[in-house]
Amino acid sequence: MAQMTMIQAITDAMRTELKNDENVLVFGEDVGQNGGVFRATEGLQKEFGEDRVFDTPLAESGIGGMAIGLALTGFRPVPEVQFFGFVYEVMDAISGQMARLRYRSGGSFHAPITVRSPFGGGVKTPELHADSLEGLMAQQPGLKVVIPSNPYDAKGLLISAIRDNDPVIFLEHMKLYRSFRQEVPEEEYTIEIGKAEVKREGSDITIVTYGAMVQASLKAAEELEKDGISAEVIDLRTVSPLDIDTIIASVEKTNRAIVVQEAQKQAGIAANVVAEINDRAILSLEAPVLRVTAPDTVFAFSAAEDVWLPDHTDIIEKATQVVKF
C-alpha cells in the first residue's frame, strides 16, 4: 500500500478507470500536456494518449455539452471544470441537459458523466474559485453529488462515480488536496455512492458533515470529549442522495444533532439534513437540530476567509449549545 495525498488518489482513480474501460475519456482546460492546474491528471495523457486524455478550448459550456455528446456515442466522459466557481458557465449543460437526459428520453439515453471540480475555502483563491455550490447541484434531480474528505475515500468514490450510469458531480476540496497523506491501496476498489461513514462513534450528539469540515468536526469531537461530551461524527461522502439510514440511526441513538457545512447557511445541504431529521426522527430529538455554516454572504474575499469559514471552535460551541439545551 502506498501513502497518497488526495490529489494522488484522484489521479490514481482516473488511471485505474482509463485502464479498465477504453470508453473513459478525461478532458478539460489544461488537463492534457499540463496535467491540470492542480496536477490531478499528471502523466495521464502521456500514458493513455491524446485521444483519451485531452485539452479543450476554454469554454465551460462547450465542455459540458461535448461531454453529453460523447456520452451519447457510448463514451464515459470525465470532464473537469477547472474551478467549481466556473460552474455557472456550464449550468445549462449540467442541470438543463445531462441531469435530464435519462428522464427526457424516457430512458432511451443516459449520461454516464463524472464532472470533477476543485472547490473549497482556505487557499486564498481569487473570487469564484472556492465557492461551496454543492447545494445548487443537490437541488437538481438527476444528479448525484459526491464530496470526499480524504485520500482513501477519494479513490474509491471516484472509481464508483466513473462507473455510474448517471451524472455525478465530484467535488474535490482544494484544502484537502495535499494537506495529509493516507494509506491508499494500489489495486482498484470502490466505495458505494450514497453511503455515509461513521468516522467516530459517540453517544451524546451526532455531527453530520462532509468535505473539509470532517477534519474540523473530528477535532471538535476530541475537544468535546474532554468536556465529557461524546460526539458521533458522520461523513456524508455523498451529499445527494443522502444516506438517510445512517443519519437517522445515529440520531435515534444520540437524540441530538448538528449539521456542519462550509457553505453559507441559506438553503443547501445542511438545511436538507435538518429537514430530513425532523421528518423522520422528531420524536427522538431532545433538542433542535442546529447548523454550523458560513454566513449568508457571497464567498469571502480572501483577506476575510479565515474568519468567514467555520472551524472546530464554531462546532464545539454549537454542539455544546445543543447538548445543554
Partner 1 sequence: MGTKTIENIEGQFEMFQILNENGEIVNKEAMPELSDEQLQELMHRMVYTRILDQRSISLNRQGRLGFYAPTAGQEASQLGSQYALDKEDWILPGYRDVPQIIWHGLPLYKAFLFSRGHYVGNQADGLNVLSPQIIIGAQITQTAGVALGLKKKGKKNVAITYTGDGGASQGDFYEGMNFAGAYAAPAIFVVQNNRFAISVPVEKQSAAKTIAQKAVAAGIQGVQVDGMDVLAVYKAVTDARERAINGEGPTLIETMTYRYGPHTMAGDDPTRYRSEDLDSEWEKKDPIVRFRKYLESKDLWNEEKENEVVDKAKAEIKAAIKQADETPKQKVTDLISHMYEELPYNLREQYEQYSAKESK
Which residues does the annotation mark as catalytic?
129
137 near partner 1 (CB under 8 A): no
103 near partner 1 (CB under 8 A): yes
245-264 positions binding partner 1, by CB under 8 A? 245
105 near partner 1 (CB under 8 A): yes
Bridge partners of 315?
none
| Pick 191 or 212: Cβ nearer partner 1 | 191
Of 44, 78, 93, 146, which one interacts with partner 1 (CB under 8 A)? 93
CB 123 within 8 A of CB 306: no
Burial 46-84 (b: 16+ CB within 10 A, else e): eebeeebbbebeeebeebbbbbbebbeeebbbbbbbbbb
Scanning 2-10, 90-98, 145-153, 258-266 for contacts with partner 1 by CB under 8 A, the matching segment is 90-98
Task: Please give the sequence-ordered ranges of beta strands (E in DSSP) within the chain, or none if there are none.
Answer: 2-4, 24-28, 53-55, 76-80, 114-119, 144-146, 168-173, 182-184, 197-200, 205-209, 231-235, 238-240, 257-264, 290-294
Instruction: Count CB atoms within 10 A of the CB of residue 296.
Output: 10
Work out how close the CB of 289 gets to partner 1 at its nearest, in angstroms, rounded to a whole number. Answer: 18
C-alpha angle 17-20-22 in degrees, rounded to nearest 5: 95
Work out how close the CB of 21 gets to partner 1 at its nearest, in angstroms, rounded to a whole number. Answer: 14
- Grid coordinates standing for 139? 437541488
Scanning 4-12, 101-109, 211-219, 227-235 for contacts with partner 1 by CB under 8 A, the matching segment is 101-109
Of 30, 163, 194, 284, which one interacts with partner 1 (CB under 8 A)? 194
Residue 194 region by backbone torsions, left for phi larger than 0, else alpha for psi between -120 and 50, else beta: left
CB 143 within 8 A of CB 167: yes
Per-position x/- string for 39-78, each x denoting binding to partner 1 as judged by CB under 8 A, each - no binding? ------------x----xx-x-xx-xxxxxxxxxxxx---
- Grid coordinates standing for 194? 450514497
110 near partner 1 (CB under 8 A): yes
**3 state SS of 114:** strand
| Pick 105 or 321: Cβ nearer partner 1 | 105
139 near partner 1 (CB under 8 A): no
Of 43, 96, 126, 295, which one interacts with partner 1 (CB under 8 A)? 96
Please tell me the count of residues contacting partner 1 according to CB under 8 A.
43
Work out how close the CB of 95 gets to partner 1 at its nearest, in angstroms, rounded to a whole number. Answer: 11
Work out how close the CB of 77 gets to partner 1 at its nearest, in angstroms, rounded to a whole number. Answer: 8
Of 19, 46, 104, 124, which one interacts with partner 1 (CB under 8 A)? 104
Task: Return d(Cα 239, Cα 33) in angstroms, integer.
Answer: 33
Look up residue 224 and give its amino acid.
Answer: L
Work out how close the CB of 93 gets to partner 1 at its nearest, in angstroms, rounded to a whole number. Answer: 7
- Contact residues toward partner 1 (CB under 8 A) are 25, 51, 56-57, 59, 61-62, 64-75, 92-93, 96-97, 102-110, 141-142, 144, 164-166, 194, 241-242, 244-245
